[in-house]
Amino acid sequence: MASSRMVQLGSSSVIQTKSKAKISFSRKAESEFFVDNSALAGFTGERILYMAIRELIENSLDSCEAERILPKIAVSLKLIDPLNDLWAISCEDNGIGIRSDKVSVAVCSFLTSGKYVEQQQRGLFGVGLKMIAAFSTKDTDHPLRVWSKSAEETSEYYFELRTDIGTNKPIVLTRRDTKPKESTIRGKSGFRIEAVLRGRLSPITKNRIHDYISQTSIVNPYAVISFSTDDGMITFDRRTNIMPEPAKEVLPHPADMDLKTLKKAIGTHALQKTTIQGILCNSFQKLSFDKAKEIIRNAGIEAKQADKYSEHELIKIVNVCRQTKFQSPNVDHLSPIGERIFTVGMTTERTIFTKKENAISDDESQPKISTREMKPTLTGYSSRACIINNRPTIVECGLAYGGNLSYFKLYRFANKIPLLYDEGSDVAREVISEVELNKMGVSKKQVKEQFSGLESRSDRAIDLLPIHIFFHICSTKIPYKTAGKESIASEGELKKYMKACLSDLYRKVSKQIRHEMHLKDAENRLKLYKYYIPLIVDAISESIDVSAEDLTNSFLALVERHVKKGVSHPRSVMTNVENHAVPVERHDVRGQQKGSGSKETSVVTRSKKSLKMKRLDSTQEKIENFLTSSEELS
Amino acid sequence: MASSRMVQLGSSSVIQTKSKAKISFSRKAESEFFVDNSALAGFTGERILYMAIRELIENSLDSCEAERILPKIAVSLKLIDPLNDLWAISCEDNGIGIRSDKVSVAVCSFLTSGKYVEQQQRGLFGVGLKMIAAFSTKDTDHPLRVWSKSAEETSEYYFELRTDIGTNKPIVLTRRDTKPKESTIRGKSGFRIEAVLRGRLSPITKNRIHDYISQTSIVNPYAVISFSTDDGMITFDRRTNIMPEPAKEVLPHPADMDLKTLKKAIGTHALQKTTIQGILCNSFQKLSFDKAKEIIRNAGIEAKQADKYSEHELIKIVNVCRQTKFQSPNVDHLSPIGERIFTVGMTTERTIFTKKENAISDDESQPKISTREMKPTLTGYSSRACIINNRPTIVECGLAYGGNLSYFKLYRFANKIPLLYDEGSDVAREVISEVELNKMGVSKKQVKEQFSGLESRSDRAIDLLPIHIFFHICSTKIPYKTAGKESIASEGELKKYMKACLSDLYRKVSKQIRHEMHLKDAENRLKLYKYYIPLIVDAISESIDVSAEDLTNSFLALVERHVKKGVSHPRSVMTNVENHAVPVERHDVRGQQKGSGSKETSVVTRSKKSLKMKRLDSTQEKIENFLTSSEELS
Amino acid sequence: MSGMDKRHKETIKKIRLIMKAICNDVLSGKKMPSFDITKIGYDNTVWSEEKRMLTVGTKTVHISPDTTKKIPTFSQYVVMSNAVRKLLDEQMESTIRGMYYATLSTVGDERNRQKFWTSQDASDDAIKAVELLTGVPREEFSVTSKPKGMISGPILLRVGGDLIDCNLGSRATSQLIPTNIMDVEIVDVKADFVMVVEKDTVLNNIRKSGFIQKYNAILMTGSGEPDRATRMMVKTLNEVWKKPVVVFADADPWGLGIALRYKIGSESLSYDSDRLVTPDAKVLGMMFSDIYEYNIPEVARLTASDEDLNRANDMKKKQWLKDKKWQKELNLFLKNKEKCELDAFFKHGFRYLAETYLPQKLRESGIL
Amino acid sequence: MSGMDKRHKETIKKIRLIMKAICNDVLSGKKMPSFDITKIGYDNTVWSEEKRMLTVGTKTVHISPDTTKKIPTFSQYVVMSNAVRKLLDEQMESTIRGMYYATLSTVGDERNRQKFWTSQDASDDAIKAVELLTGVPREEFSVTSKPKGMISGPILLRVGGDLIDCNLGSRATSQLIPTNIMDVEIVDVKADFVMVVEKDTVLNNIRKSGFIQKYNAILMTGSGEPDRATRMMVKTLNEVWKKPVVVFADADPWGLGIALRYKIGSESLSYDSDRLVTPDAKVLGMMFSDIYEYNIPEVARLTASDEDLNRANDMKKKQWLKDKKWQKELNLFLKNKEKCELDAFFKHGFRYLAETYLPQKLRESGIL
């Protein structure tokens, strides 16, 4: 059977031995083009395995979210042939699967994808799966093995596939309806792929994969993602059952019109014989019939059947549209994470390490299962919708403070994908530098006074705080700084909106942060009194006749009352700080909250439990007393 | 006529309004894919005009070099509609042109290119011209205008073209054989294209374009490139008539074999019924019949007709090849610049500014023509051939010192294309940091003493020297750090070879540089004496009875003799510097010098004339005297 | 002597009263102990036209351990008060550095230990606070700084039981001005006038030239910023002994500032101006205009730093420098951006300063 | 006086001879002018077992404008030589700062002007070079530094024509030790011994306690690094007046270094040890072991810095500190990494140092 495939070989590009330079124009199949220029899709050298895992996880998440299925994704990466650097990679999800008649092209044929629609998705080029198939075909004799149970079908199908790189066509080696007892996918629907790739895995790349999955879990807390390697399995557990509203496909916005989109719109309506005005308002969002008439009038072209216009006339429409002000585009085609899910992501991270039973390193002391959770004392969320480069864009920003957090960290996401590298050149870093910390109601000086004890790598006050800041940018066109897609450029007004989000957040949490800092200050102050009182008492009792013990006891009682008073009247201590506690303002994302069913009304969540964990010293009880009383007061 | 094109509209991807998420798999035409994901080819936002000019210049240079035609390229970029940001861009060359039957697909159809061969070329993806055509079609109603006079034909043909983005097919609006008196292209052959693009040109991008052309001229000194804008014309003039040996197409190297290449080789020989051994040694370089037999033996597969092997058997051949040591690949498919041309590029840069006759700013004081030349005192060249990522790679390194150069600068080129940005992260920067300056026979301390007076941005000694360092990497697969293609990664042993080149160069120029530095030191010393002698003479003549004038004259005579002595015995002054002047060693590029016809034997060229230009003070004559004598001595 | 002891006893009593007051506040438990002291520094300094000197304003500082920042300060003041009491009880004297050492300590526990004094500056501030709290100048409670003022010329001092004749020949070294100035009595002054210079290098040069003998002058210097003893000595010579006082300092904003310390006082010691300032002193040089009038070679001039210029701009705005003469000089400096030290005259020869420049300036002002 | 003038004339003559030699070399045109001077510093210092002091070795430095780097140095030495000649011709004295000012200059042309002296250090080095060139110590050509040494106790000095009695009461200030030491004559010494301390704060505290009267001692300090006058005064008191000398300094490597300046000399002045060093001086304290034996409170101890430890390690290797006693002390320091200043005794009360620690140490060593 294998040799029968030989007939499919053959390519349009033939190596010639030329005596004289002569340009021979050759046509390349898409698959061959992408294999030859694999750098375009990021599949180069060391990065092949990393990119493969990324693409598979992103496809799986997209597939689940399309139908609001809580994702459960199992990825594995195992070395099967060290001599030839062969790795078995697999990914299984419980998404909607792919219809059996589409599986082979969806996996193997470049430029055929379910991703070519105007809505937010993780992967946009739709070439990831195809790259895996082509590389596997090119470098190994192992076929791709695929199990798919489509939501639209009842059976699970099994495939063995190869890509004919020379023609961009799938080679289907096996295709069968699996019998129920044989079936691999347990849920109602799902997809599993296994491929063998040739590649190298350096420790750096290994960490990169781990970071990628870990941060993916932060921004997708409704997903379970497990990752198996030869060392064992790590599971990034689900922490919520709420999923974001899926992205919807929308009509293009007229400000983004060009000749191609306009002609496509006319072509779509070709059979209906409508007017050009009708086509405009049916094919573009935010375009009323009146507005369409106005555009045609401004373009100065005569009325005729829509498909009778020449390009010269159409370009006038495009030019007018580019100069016309329209309503902001709607954002239904975007899927922001939303406050509730974002908050879950910020608040918790649950990781379970399961060591392989017979792991090579037989370290008895290491537990087989360990979990890690982080519980900040308070969190905040804010978002903005805006237009960047003619595309609707949603900026989401989150903040987590205190609790188990002990240092500053910035997390960056684009369309729910974590950005891991080039943080220094990311616009988010600029945003954080440029938003004044005193919007939080605290001064740099205060922060340095209170936190400079912590280990810090930086002089900047923000870097001293136990704070995590999260930025998520959703758009159908993320303004990446480089094609490497690791940092976002400060394009258009993006920075302005990000700064507005962070400023909101600072203002929103300011009361709580100030309270947190007052608590910490009160604690510090009591400690300070205890340090200094003996010195004062000694000096006095050496000078005049008084009982040192009485004086000490009275002094301690006095300062404890004093500290308590200080916390319930924070202003008196912080007179030099401008008060930013404006009435809490909600910055909802337009159209986003409709169906999210959020019941929370306050954007700042205070976790009492974690606060208690923090107070371990002897003054705990007293502090909690006045904490309670001050909360009653406020 | 315009409306008749309407029938060609229509696309396989149709916008649907869906009530329920359902993945619809759609196939995209290559053109549509690239237009939608234009970032892949670098055509985004501000960069469109820059990329267009780059692509056109690179195509033109490739076209000329294919037939060793001395390139003469005229590029222009003019704003024709400020309201709609429309620019007319044109490029004309004297290259080999494109055969009239191929023009339309070569210009408009993606994945059809003359670049898909295994040889060094500037553009590799072959999508630049197509992007221009597609963007012009998408954003304007102006057709592309093309004049082509192919070396294979006698007539010049004129075309008006558009791209059918939905199908990746050209739309030929006009095609005609121009009459001789109408003809645009004057030379034997050539190609001219005019397109209208929508875009913005910021001052930054404008500078970027200028830098790009200027540096292109450095590395292609045999080309004339003129660039016209609304401000006037800048011509980067030709400084040599020698051209590098053009790249030849070669067979792939067996170490780089994969299933795809192997199967392609078998397919090509399908009709000849040869053995697999025969195919191997006919389809791959550096693979003798014996070696082929050995490979088949090691793969442990039975002998049969070549097209009867299964993939499973073929992959065994691939695996064996990957583990087998072969001779280094030949580098005929690479086209390094070579020492002579490299030296011309380093030594001169001739720029002619021609202000527009009726320029808006009527600044009378500004001359209409100005030229700029730089003449270093000495230059050096070194190169190495190596294998990086299984691809033969040639590293060329050049160095220019002194003369009109007044600061340190690093120039980086890949396949004769300048790399303009991200210098900090380029491997070349690391190479320069890591090669010890004292290989040059001078110590950091000396450099700092002699040159710290110059304005410098850095503490590093090399940055103080008036030195330009040039790196050129040739390969069919340049290890770019990012898809943005602005910096090269330290992949494989690339850095090692680059360091070796630079070290060679340092050693080679060490004697001259030391001599230069001695001259400079002598100069400095004479100056210093002149500064201090009056103070010494005053002190002495105040203390004792002596004629200040006599003393001054005697002192000046004494120090001039003393300085002269110092230079003719440089060692005596520089005893603390290790002497690296090893016997001059040539590091020829394997196989590269064969046809270059180079007659020079010394790699270090000293320009006497420029030295003279430098000596303007009164001691010029004396210094030249001892310069001559010291040269006689050495 | 017994007058001194009596004053010491009074100071001890004042300190005990302060301690008592703190004690009462704490034991009663009603309020944080606190006391107000006069604020010192530029923002509580007022120019008195009548007295012709800088005087202290009415602002006060609230000293109390009621905020985090003020806890250490309060403790330091209390601890320093006790140390002063001890010093007086032991009938010793100490320098300000000695007081720092005597009160050196750490606070905090094992895990978080820090210094009681961040530096000697903090201890010096606490000594100042004790002065303000008790209303007794430092010298009276026997805390002095290292002597740095110097005096030379026909003047006879009595310190304790010893007579000190400062009228020594040109080869001898000047006498240090004792910092325990309360112990110093001026027995006799034979000089016609007092010349104060900024730096001892300059004083030395002038003295060696025989200036004292030739012009019957007393030469004094505070060696830079003058200590209180030097300022008080100048004041006494002018106001009690009726000797004209002239001041010479470097031609830069800092030199001018030092010269003006003698004549109008300083912002940091404005609370003590009545004891320290000599309003009739004449600041004669080195004026910025002298740089040009006496033809100082360019190499001996220095380029003004930004700091110098800022300081000069600040000075221009001061009420007490609104006089046309000072404004003219400061404007000249701000225009030319050149400053100069008195030593620069050495470029004209080692005797030029003492034998040409100074006599000329003194004649111009009518002193000679 | 005329002896002084004669010596001055000789110095002038020596300078003129040097100038003449340079002149001859230049006018003959045969060779670059050059002269060799003794190299000074650690690499030309030799321990003399016989003299029990650091002495200078035989290395020399070649001074000549023959290389770029040496042109400025040569010029500076010539210019400074001429300035010294001028000073002597004018019969003036100057401080080292005065010499710096007198020779201030720039070199170069419009486009490239630089300072003749990079800082006063360069000028100070040039003065040292003139000493070495002429073989005449600085004091003899009337260049002195600012006086900083102090002396108190039953000793009578004559400076020029003036008698200076240093035996003043406890309230008076100590006398400065004149830096023009060639002009100073010791007329009479009534004290039983001489006690040298590192810092004037400490001297002041001791003096105020009545120590001088009680023990009939002379108290001296160099106020840190002692100047030559102070060292020479100590030597004279010990060797001419046969008074025992004891030295007390802080318990840190720098304090120990200062104490040893008196007893064995220093590397930078080893060429002048014969005039400066008092080999019979006894360095009594403060020993590192005293920190523990006298129970200095922990807060008054300081943590040794890396610099301190490096210095101590260097000192341990010196030939002249191979004595068991020093090795033991240095090892103790290196082990505990704690140092301490004499002022730290103030933590035990202001009189403890003078009334407990010092008498005990003096008794232990047999002085009392």
* Catalytic residue selected from D101, D271, D294, D357: D101
Q: Residue B93: pLDDT above 50?
A: yes
d(CA C27, CA A530): 17
pLDDT reported for residue C2: 54
A361: helix, strand or coil: coil
Chain D contact for C221 (CB, 8 A cutoff): no
A488-534 pLDDT, tens per residue? 887 778 899 999 999 999 988 888 888 877 777 777 778 888 889 99
Longest Cα–Cα distance of chain A, Å, equals: 114
Query: From the CB coordinates, do chains A and D have 3 or more pairs under 8 Å?
Result: no
Q: Which residue in the set D29, D75, D105 is minimally distant from B554, CB to CB?
A: D29
d(CA B99, CA B80): 30
pLDDT reported for residue A21: 43
Give the Cβ contact number of residue A167 at 10 Å: 18
| Partners of residue B470 on adjacent β-strands | B398, B411
**C78–A524: do the CB atoms touch at under 8 Å?**
no
Fold exhibited by the domain D162-364: Dna Topoisomerase Vi A Subunit; Chain: A, domain 2 (3.40.1360)
User: What token pair was written down for A65?
Assistant: 């979210």
A89: helix, strand or coil: strand
Q: Which of A27-36, B194-203, C36-45, D230-239 has the lowest mean pLDDT?
A: A27-36
Q: Which of B85, B251, B311 to mutate to test the interface with A (most CBs of A within 10 A)?
A: B311
Please report residues of A whose CB lies closer than 8 A to that of C86: 542
B579: helix, strand or coil: coil
What is the domain class of B254-327 according to CATH?
A: mainly alpha
Confidence of residue A631 (pLDDT cuts 50, 70, 90): very low
Longest Cα–Cα distance of chain C, Å, equals: 73
A400-419 pLDDT, tens per residue? 988 778 788 899 999 999 99
- Rounded mean pLDDT, B16-22: 41
Confidence of residue A25 (pLDDT cuts 50, 70, 90): low
Residues of B with CB under 8 A from a CB of D: 449, 453, 521, 524-525, 527-529, 531-532, 535-536, 538-540, 542-544, 546, 550-551, 554-555, 557-559, 561-562, 573
A285-326 pLDDT, tens per residue? 888 888 888 888 888 888 788 888 888 888 888 888 888 888
Confidence of residue D194 (pLDDT cuts 50, 70, 90): very high
Q: Which residue in the set B521, B525, B557 is minimally distant from D29, CB to CB?
A: B557
Work out the angle at residue B233's Cα, subtended by the Cα atoms of residues B229 and B236, and round it to the nearest 5 degrees.
120
CB contact burial C270-300 (16+ within 10 A = b; e otherwise)? bbbbeebbbbebbbbbbbbebbeebebeebb
Place of tokens 């592309």: B144
Range picked from A368-372, A377-381, B42-46, C336-340 for highest mean pLDDT: C336-340
C223-281 pLDDT, tens per residue? 999 999 999 999 999 999 999 999 999 999 999 999 999 999 998 889 899 999 999 99
A467: helix, strand or coil: strand
d(CA A196, CA A141): 9
Query: From the CB coordinates, do chains D and B have 3 or more pairs under 8 Å?
Result: yes
Q: Which residue in the set A531, A539, A561 is minimally distant from C78, CB to CB?
A: A539
**D349–C106: do the CB atoms touch at under 8 Å?**
no
d(CA D304, CA C115): 16
Chains that touch C (3 or more CB pairs under 8 A): A, D
Chain A contact for C79 (CB, 8 A cutoff): yes
ipTM of the complex: 0.60
Q: Residue C116: pLDDT above 70?
A: yes
Residue B549's φ and ψ, nearest 5 degrees, are -65, -45
Sequence-ordered list of residues with C-beta below 8 angstroms from that of D122, at least 6 positions apart, any chain: D76
Secondary structure letter of residue C276 according to DSSP: H
Indicate the domain borders of chain B.
31-196, 254-327, 339-357+366-620
Secondary structure letter of residue B327 according to DSSP: P
**D23–B546: do the CB atoms touch at under 8 Å?**
yes
User: What token pair was written down for D200?
Assistant: 């004037």
Sequence-ordered list of residues with C-beta below 8 angstroms from that of A91, at least 6 positions apart, any chain: A53, A56, A57, A59, A60, A73, A74, A75, A76, A192, A193
d(CA B244, CA B241): 10
Q: Which of D346, D351, D353, D357 to mutate to test the interface with C (most CBs of C within 10 A)?
A: D346
- Rounded mean pLDDT, B518-535: 84
- Rounded mean pLDDT, D325-352: 91
**Cβ(B118)–Cβ(B333) under 8 Å?**
yes
| Partners of residue C109 on adjacent β-strands | C112
Place of tokens 């695929």: A146
B227-264 pLDDT, tens per residue? 999 988 899 989 889 888 888 878 888 887 888 888 88
Average model confidence (pLDDT) for chain C?
90
- Rounded mean pLDDT, D279-283: 95
Q: For residue D298, give how far its alpha carbon lies from the nearest alpha carbon of chain C (Å).
A: 9
Rg for chain D, CA atoms, rounded: 23
* Cα–Cα distance list, B442 to A146, B437, B449, B572 (Å): 65, 7, 11, 14
Average model confidence (pLDDT) for chain B?
77
Give the number of A-C residue pairs with CB atoms closer than 8 Å. Answer: 77
For residue C251, give the amino acid letter: A
Same fold, B254-327 and B339-357+366-620: no
**C160–D173: do the CB atoms touch at under 8 Å?**
no
Confidence of residue C358 (pLDDT cuts 50, 70, 90): very high
Chain D contact for C95 (CB, 8 A cutoff): yes
pLDDT reported for residue A124: 57
Sequence-ordered list of residues with C-beta below 8 angstroms from that of A547, at least 6 positions apart, any chain: A541
d(CA D152, CA D189): 11
Tell which CATH classification among 3.20.20.60, 1.20.120.420, 3.40.50.800, 1.10.10.10 matches the domain C2-144. Answer: 1.10.10.10
Q: Residue A608: pLDDT above 70?
A: no
Task: Transcribe D100-127 into DSSP letters.
Answer: HHHT--EEEETTEEEES-SSHHHHHHHH
User: What token pair was written down for D292?
Assistant: 């523990």
d(CA C158, CA C187): 6
Give the Cβ contact number of residue B82 at 10 Å: 8
Q: Which helix (H) or strand (E) holds D213?
A: helix D211-215
C6-21 pLDDT, tens per residue? 888 999 999 999 999 9
* Cα–Cα distance list, D139 to A33, B169, D18, D180 (Å): 90, 100, 20, 6
pLDDT reported for residue D215: 95
B365-418 pLDDT, tens per residue? 454 556 666 778 888 899 988 878 777 889 999 999 887 787 888 999 999 999
User: Is residue C101 among the annotated active site residues?
Assistant: yes
Chain A contact for C20 (CB, 8 A cutoff): yes
d(CA B608, CA B610): 5
pLDDT reported for residue B577: 27
Confidence of residue D301 (pLDDT cuts 50, 70, 90): confident
Chain B contact for A37 (CB, 8 A cutoff): yes
B106-124 pLDDT, tens per residue? 899 888 776 656 667 676 5
Q: Of how many residues is chain C composed?
A: 368
- Rounded mean pLDDT, B457-468: 76
**B264–A27: do the CB atoms touch at under 8 Å?**
no
Is the Cα torsion angle B168, B172, B176, B178 positive or negative in sign?
A: negative
d(CA D249, CA D282): 12
Confidence of residue B484 (pLDDT cuts 50, 70, 90): low
Chain A contact for C17 (CB, 8 A cutoff): no
Name the closest residue on chain A to residue B305, using Cα atoms. A3
Q: Which of A443, A524, A526, A536 to mutate to test the interface with C (most CBs of C within 10 A)?
A: A536
d(CA C225, CA A557): 47
d(CA C73, CA C63): 8
Percentage of chain B exceeding pLDDT 70: 78
Residue B112's φ and ψ, nearest 5 degrees, are -125, 120
Q: For residue B387, give how far its alpha carbon lies from the nearest alpha carbon of chain A (Å).
A: 15
Residues of A with CB under 8 A from a CB of C: 449, 521, 524-525, 527-529, 531-532, 535-536, 538-540, 542-544, 546, 550-551, 554-555, 557-559, 561-562, 566, 573
**A558–C116: do the CB atoms touch at under 8 Å?**
no
Residue B621's φ and ψ, nearest 5 degrees, are -60, -45
Please report residues of C whose CB lies closer than 8 A to that of D158: none
* Catalytic residue selected from C101, C271, C294, C357: C101
Query: From the CB coordinates, do chains A and B have 3 or more pairs under 8 Å?
Result: yes
Q: Which residue in the set B525, B531, B540 is minimally distant from D107, CB to CB?
A: B531
Please report residues of B whose CB lies closer than 8 A to that of A152: 22
B94-104 pLDDT, tens per residue? 999 999 998 99
Please report residues of A whose CB lies closer than 8 A to that of B2: 310-312
Q: Residue A371: pLDDT above 70?
A: no
Chain A contact for C106 (CB, 8 A cutoff): no
- Residues 196-255 of chain A with CB under 8 A from chain B are 246, 248-249, 251
User: What token pair was written down for A610?
Assistant: 């974690």
Q: For residue A66, give how far its alpha carbon lies from the nearest alpha carbon of chain B (Å).
A: 6
Please report residues of C whose CB lies closer than 8 A to that of A535: 75, 78-79, 105, 107, 116
Residue A476's φ and ψ, nearest 5 degrees, are -80, -10
CB contact burial A139-150 (16+ within 10 A = b; e otherwise)? bbbbbbbbbbbb
Q: Which residue in the set A521, A532, A557 is minimally distant from C107, CB to CB?
A: A532
Indicate the domain borders of chain C.
2-144, 162-364
The distance from CA C143 to its chain's CA centroid, rounded to whole angstroms, is: 15
pLDDT reported for residue D3: 64
**D68–B539: do the CB atoms touch at under 8 Å?**
no
pLDDT reported for residue B80: 94
Please report residues of D whose CB lies closer than 8 A to that of B535: 75, 78-79, 105, 107, 116
The distance from CA A631 to its chain's CA centroid, rounded to whole angstroms, is: 36
SS3 content of chain C, % helix, strand, coil (to 5): 50, 20, 30
Q: Which helix (H) or strand (E) holds B321?
A: helix B311-323
d(CA B48, CA A488): 19
Chain C contact for D183 (CB, 8 A cutoff): yes
The residue that leads in pLDDT, D279 or B263, is D279
Q: Which of A373-377, A450-454, D33-37 has the lowest mean pLDDT?
A: A450-454
Give the long-range contacts of residues C133-137, CB within 8 A, separation 24 or more: C133/C14, C133/C15, C133/C18, C133/C35, C133/C37, C133/C77, C133/C81, C134/C11, C134/C14, C134/C15, C134/C18, C134/C81, C135/C14, C136/C7, C136/C10, C136/C11, C136/C14, C137/C228, C137/C272, C137/C275
Q: Residue C296: pLDDT above 50?
A: yes
* Cα–Cα distance list, D209 to A189, A415, C100 (Å): 98, 81, 19
Fold exhibited by the domain B31-196: Heat Shock Protein 90 (3.30.565)
d(CA C322, CA C328): 10
pLDDT reported for residue A303: 79
Chains that touch A (3 or more CB pairs under 8 A): B, C
d(CA B153, CA D313): 89
Q: For residue B572, give how far its alpha carbon lies from the nearest alpha carbon of chain D (Å).
A: 11
**C343–D101: do the CB atoms touch at under 8 Å?**
yes
d(CA C130, CA C208): 42
Fold exhibited by the domain A339-357+366-620: Ribosomal Protein S5; domain 2 (3.30.230)
B372-383 pLDDT, tens per residue? 667 788 888 999
- Residues 265-294 of chain D with CB under 8 A from chain C are none
Confidence of residue D12 (pLDDT cuts 50, 70, 90): very high
Sequence-ordered list of residues with C-beta below 8 angstroms from that of A254, at least 6 positions apart, any chain: A280, A284, A285, A286, A287, A295, A321, A324, A326
**Cβ(D217)–Cβ(D194) under 8 Å?**
yes
Q: Which of A464-478, B209-223, B337-351, D75-89 has the lowest mean pLDDT?
A: B337-351
| Partners of residue B386 on adjacent β-strands | B393
| Partners of residue D185 on adjacent β-strands | D158
Q: Residue A226: pLDDT above 60?
A: yes
